[in-house]
Amino acid sequence: MEAAGAGVAPIRAQYLTSKEQFHAYLKAERESRNQENNQDDGEEDPSSNDQTEPPAKQMKLDGADQVRNQGSQEEVVKEEEKKPQERKRARGQNKSRPCMKPNHYEKDRLCQSVIQECAEKCYFGSQCRFLHDVGEYMAVKPSDLGDSCILFKTFGKCIYGVTCRFARAHLGEDYRNFVNEDLVKQWEGKPLVRNSLSKELQQRLRKKKVCFDKSSEYLSHLGKPSSTGNAGNKAAGNSTGEEGMTNCTASKGNAEGVDVLPPGEETPEYLAVSEKGEASESMVLQSSCLADASKDSTLKTIGPVTDEDVIKLRLCEKKRLDIQGKLYLAPLTTCGNLPFRRICKRFGADVTCGEMAVCTNLLQGQSSEWALLKRHHTEDLFGVQLEGAFPDTMTRCAELLNQTIEMDFVDINVGCPIDLVYKKGGGCALMNRSNKFEQIVRGMNSVLDVPLTVKIRTGVQEKVNLAHKVIPNIRKWGASMVTLHGRSREQRYTKVADWEYIAECAKLASPMPLFGNGDILSYEDANRAMQTGVSGIMIARGALIKPWIFTEVKEQRHWDISSNERFDILKDFTNYGLEHWGSDTQGVEKTRKFMLEWLSFLCRYIPAGLLEYLPQKINERPPYYMGRDYLETLMASQNVDDWIKISEMLLGPVPTNFIFLPKHKANSYR
């Protein structure tokens, strides 16, 4: 055991241990608990991963565990051997992660028509590649994980029927699905999750039959020469790179894959572009043909015609984003999913935002991308974050979302540091592409009825700050708010956030609100951040490490949360995940996957009662320590196998040949 050095969290001496002793303790505890469970006849411990499995399958599971443990040990040895020879430090993402698809979990899957108890309506008939015999499916179906189904218990009906991994809670004779009519009526007409992609809209997007009148009008001006004789704007909103394509309706093979129908004959010219590509703030308000506009609109209006239907709102008349002093949960890729946001809302998060969505994928109607926009009914102040590199795709995507989903604001991601986004000109790269950046902000602002916000970093290079130059322009272009992460792209998360620079930028942004982001893990950190003059704070990794940080900030206290309380949070996440992704095998494994991603951050939390002094710093690495009980010690492990063990306590044994590698390499301690 070594004393805590620089960059190591200060844990009390009586709790410190060595790496060998730490893993030996967990192994011994696991074996003793398994022996106790084996001695119990028919009694199941909720914290055990020993489910009632056929002997052959149990042998496979045990063999998979041994293979996984041997593999992890060999990898550790190999890494130790490679360390002296390594020149580049690990950073960014694990790009070669194994992909577990649904057919890896279930080779014989049941047809959806049978699940919904309407087998006669299978459109594929004898050519259907899924099973239609329920008895045959039940013979190979994995055993149930419990006696209580969260969907049946909450809503009165489980739509997954016999495929549910908790099916015995709601299956009767002949595998008939029980329905609690009282609960079903209670939830009837109350949509729990909004912003889903309809089949009709998806088909129109794929067939390129969606009309973008407002975007077409704005983008048509970007390619036109100005009245002063300018030959044309080189940075026009054309992401295809083809010459002579100044009109957004000219190409069927544009970047976003969406063909734009020509606008109506009479459309208001409310954007005039100057030599510098700046849109005139004085809009020419002309009344357009309301019949034509309503005919092309994707939303049908009901009720009397109002001024807002005829006259476009000026920027100063738009709904304002009033979140001064509120706690903002950052849009977090992968981990910031809907179940996690529900957890944070319960602990006091005021503002939530969906995961980063790529605009081109949304315009192509990709279901997986549209799933990132879903909004739970408890999210009262919700926004979506878009990523893109060109004015045409971003403007059209903004107009599409403005007409089809419910949101309180739209955020532009100008802070994403990953290479895949940066090399295409998106994310942080927009800070160096001021012309494109301006056209994106002005274009999106012109087609949105909700406020537009921008999230940026201090700059691209480590010692070259750009935010103080960009923020005044963002305010001038019409954005309602800007969020500044106090690090550059090159820094990633390896150095502390620069809050002094954030304070300087907050003064430059005034009167536009500026939210600060970076290294907030306690209410003291939040208080110091608010003293810099920012309008509010955004919390990202701090919420992943301890989602109850919102409660701590609002109540101004340290919460020495117990291991059982933390485990209850994971139980709630499990239930929310089964509601959102499904209670069948595919939904269970998807919930497990996102839980494991989250556990790669949760393991960094150090209980307040174990620290020499408070608060814990976000960039201080936790040494090996023994918790106050087995569960607290298990949750402190940074070994993937122990994370899998925790998931098995909630979701049962992992499938055969299961492999998990976290998305992020988590090099923030280096």
Using alpha carbons only, how large is the chain's radius of gyration in Å? 27
Residue 42: left if φ>0, alpha if ψ -120 to 50, beta else—which one? left
Q: How far apart are CA 99 and CA 87, in angstroms?
A: 28
Q: Which residues of 626-645 are buried (b: 16+ CB within 10 A; e: fewer)?
A: bbeebbbbbbbbebbbbbbb
Run of H or E residues at 282: none
Which residues, including other chains, have CB under 8 Å from residue 393's CB and lie 6 or more apart? 239, 255, 256, 359, 360, 363
Which three-class secondary structure state does DSSP give residue 653? Answer: coil
CA angle 487, 397, 249 (to 5 degrees): 130
- Per the CB < 8 A criterion, the answer to whether 9 and 621 are in contact is yes
CA angle 555, 560, 563 (to 5 degrees): 130
Please name which of 654, 606, 610, 587 lies closest in space to residue 163, comparing C-alpha atoms: 587
Residue 539 has phi, psi (to 5 degrees) of: -115, 130
CB 598 within 8 A of CB 572: no
CA distances to 133, 142, 165 from 129, in Å: 12, 20, 22
Q: Cα separations (Å) of 130 from 110, 119, 127? A: 5, 12, 9
| DSSP character string of 584-628 | SHHHHHHHHHHHHHHHHHHTT---GGGBSSSPPPTTSBP--B--S
Residue tagged active-site, from 344, 397, 416, 603? 416
Cis peptide before 511 (omega within 30 of 0): yes
Q: Are 342 and 575 in contact (CB under 8 A)?
A: no
What are φ and ψ of residue 236, in 5° steps? -65, 160
141 closest CA partner among 254, 54, 15: 54
DSSP 283: -
Q: Are 426 and 413 in contact (CB under 8 A)?
A: yes
What is the side-by-side strand order in the sheet with 327-329? 327-329, 536-539, 514-517, 481-485, 452-457, 409-414, 382-387, 352-358
Q: What are phi and psi of 53, to 5 degrees?
A: -125, 150
Cα 614 to Cα 318, 407, 440, 603: the distances in Å are 44, 38, 44, 18
Contact 599, 637 (CB under 8 A): no
With tokens 């090099």, the residue in question is: 667
Q: Is 128 a catalytic residue?
A: no
The CA-to-CA distance between both ends of the chain, in Å, stands at 20
The residue behind tokens 């100044």 is 246
The two most distant CA atoms of the chain are separated, in Å, by 89
Q: Which helix (H) or strand (E) holds 133?
A: none
- Alpha-helix residue ranges (DSSP H) falling in 307-430: 307-310, 338-346, 359-363, 367-370, 391-404, 419-422
Please tell me the distance from the alpha carbon of residue 145 to that of residue 148, in angstroms, as a whole number: 9
Q: Which residues are designated catalytic?
A: 416
